[in-house]
Amino acid sequence: MDGEIRTVGIVGAGQMGGGIAHVAALAGFAVTLYDVTQERAEAGLAKIGANMDRQIASQKISEAEKAEALSRITAVSDPAAFSGLDLVIEAATEDETVKRKIYREICPLLDEKTILATNTSSISITRLAAATDRPERFMGIHFMNPVPVMKLVELVRGIATGDETFEAARTFVTKLDKTVTVSEDFPAFIVNRILLPMINEAIYTLYEGVGSVESIDTAMKLGANHPMGPLQLADFIGLDTCLSIMQVLHDGLADSKYRPCPLLVKYVEAGWLGRKAGRGFYDYRGETPVPTR
């Protein structure tokens, strides 16, 4: 192998995995999209097609580019399909136990040369790497959501990540027409270390009655020029994800400023996880979202 990545495997056909498959296929890479059942893998593929239709509607890509990109993606439910690939990106749920279980299952199926990456938004790369058989060929390639729209990718090296692995990943990301930012391996890296405490603070502002959902979001949109208010953004990210990142920050840095707001915990306990659940800081079940407090 010349160190160049040409074939990419993705573990998890959900929002993030599908998004990564989408941009990689459009950039000309052969993509193997894996999920635990063939139905889930196929559903991920269908979602990619629908998202590409939106890009066609806004004239970002052509019908021909869509057809070509989709022909490069193979949906599978057998991890043996990862054999012989140059890069495998794990985009499973943000849960360390789940990720470790995946590495135990897939590492024996990978070629010695295969680079294994994780799309984790907050978990220690060094610790995850230690759960694999290839810490020097393991690193974090953290895409932002939604992947086809967001320009940034955070590259995170673990303590053992080799230079060759890092350079191959940087080249790969550049070919996707994304901008690289390099972060050290500390809890939540750069974007979420700054963004999530801001969202958590917005929830405290609501919890303490300083402002309503509407006043907080309007204040940050028009007063700080944010494209989306922090509570609306929390709903978009998923309140369970927000809580898990705050917990990683709180546990990893042991600083009380990262304590998750009790109101965030309450919403997650209620199953009001944001847009995907139909309710969060806004209720999405009607025509237009209505604040829930």
Count of CB atoms situated within 10 Å of the CB of 163: 9
Q: Give residue 94's pLDDT.
A: 87
Question: How many degrees, rounded to 5, is the angle at CA 145 between CA 179 and CA 172?
Answer: 35
Q: Tell me the two tokens of residue 146.
A: 């939604």
Phi first, then psi: what are they for 127, rounded to 5°?
-70, -40
Nearest residue to 45 via CA among 10, 80, 64, 21: 21
Burial status of residue 212 (CB atoms within 10 A of its CB: 0-12, 13-18, 19 or more): middle
What are the φ/ψ torsions at residue 63 (nearest 5 degrees)? Answer: -55, -40
Would you state the pLDDT for residue 1?
47
CA angle (291 as vertex; 150, 221 as ends), nearest 5: 45
Picking from 197, 212, 210, 209, the residue whose alpha carbon sits closest to that of residue 261 is 197
| Helix, strand or coil, per DSSP, at residue 214 | helix
Alpha helices (H) along the chain: 15-26, 38-57, 63-71, 96-106, 125-129, 163-175, 191-207, 213-223, 230-237, 239-253, 262-270
- Tokens 């028009």 sit at which residue? 222
Domain architecture of the chain: domains with CATH = 7-183 (3.40.50.720), 191-291 (1.10.1040.50)
Query: What is the rounded distance in angstroms from the CA atom of residue 283 to the CA atom of residue 275?
Result: 8
Here the tokens at position 164 are 């060759």
**What long-range pairs does 129-134 form, CB within 8 A, spacing at least 24?**
129/158, 129/159, 129/160, 129/161, 131/99, 131/100, 131/103, 131/104, 132/103, 132/107, 133/107, 133/108, 134/107, 134/110
Q: Maximum distance among all alpha carbons in the chain?
A: 59
d(Cα 267, Cα 273) in Å, to the nearest integer? 7
Contact 281, 213 (CB under 8 A): yes
Known catalytic residues are 121, 142, 154, 192
Q: Which is nearest to 99 in space by CA: 73, 115, 122? A: 122
Question: Cα–Cα–Cα angle for 93, 112, 153, nearest 5°?
Answer: 40
Distance CA 86, CA 83 (A): 9
Q: Is the peptide bond before 146 cis (omega within 30 degrees of 0)?
A: yes
Q: What does pTM read for this prediction? A: 0.92
Q: Encode the chain (293 residues) as per-residue pLDDT tens digits.
A: 467 999 999 999 999 999 999 999 999 999 999 999 999 999 999 999 999 999 999 999 999 999 999 999 999 999 999 999 999 999 998 889 999 999 999 999 999 999 999 999 989 999 999 999 999 999 999 999 999 999 999 999 999 999 999 999 999 999 999 999 999 999 999 999 999 999 999 999 999 999 999 999 999 999 999 999 999 999 999 999 999 999 999 999 999 999 999 999 999 999 999 999 999 999 999 999 999 99
